[in-house]
Amino acid sequence: MNFTKLAIADVVLIEPKKFGDSRGYFMETFRQSLFAEHVGDFDFVQDNQSLSAEVGTVRGLHFQLDPMAQGKLVRCIAGALLDVAVDIRTGSPTYGKHVAVELTAENGRQLWVPPGFAHGFCTLTPNTEISYKVTNYYSAEHDRGLLWNDLALGIDWPVEADKAALSDKDRKQPSLADLGTVFTY
The reported pLDDT for the residue numbered 125 is 98
The per-residue pLDDT for range 20-71, each reduced to its tens digit, is: 999 999 999 999 999 999 999 999 999 999 999 999 999 999 999 999 999 9
Instruction: Find all residues with CB under 8 Å of 97, minimum gap 6, and list them.
Output: 7, 8, 86, 87
* H/E element, 176: helix 176-179
Average of per-residue pLDDT values in the chain: 97
Residue 149 pLDDT:
98
The set of catalytic residues is: 62, 132
Q: Within 10 Å of residue 34's Cβ, how many Cβ atoms?
A: 13
**pLDDT by residue (tens digit) across 107-135?**
999 999 999 999 999 999 999 999 999 99
User: How many Cα atoms within 13 Å fall on the side-chain side of residue 93?
Assistant: 4
Q: Check residue 76 and give its pLDDT.
A: 98
pLDDT at 139: 98
For residue 48, the model assigns a pLDDT of 97
CA distance 60 to 171: 9
Number of neighbouring beta carbons within 10 Å of residue 157: 18
Q: How many CB atoms are located within 10 Å of the residue 79 CB?
A: 20
Q: From CA 25, how far away is CA 122, in angstroms rounded?
A: 27
Mean pLDDT of 125-153: 98
pLDDT for the residue numbered 166: 97
The pLDDT value given to residue 94:
98
pTM for this entry: 0.95
Quick check: 76 and 51 in contact, CB under 8 A? no
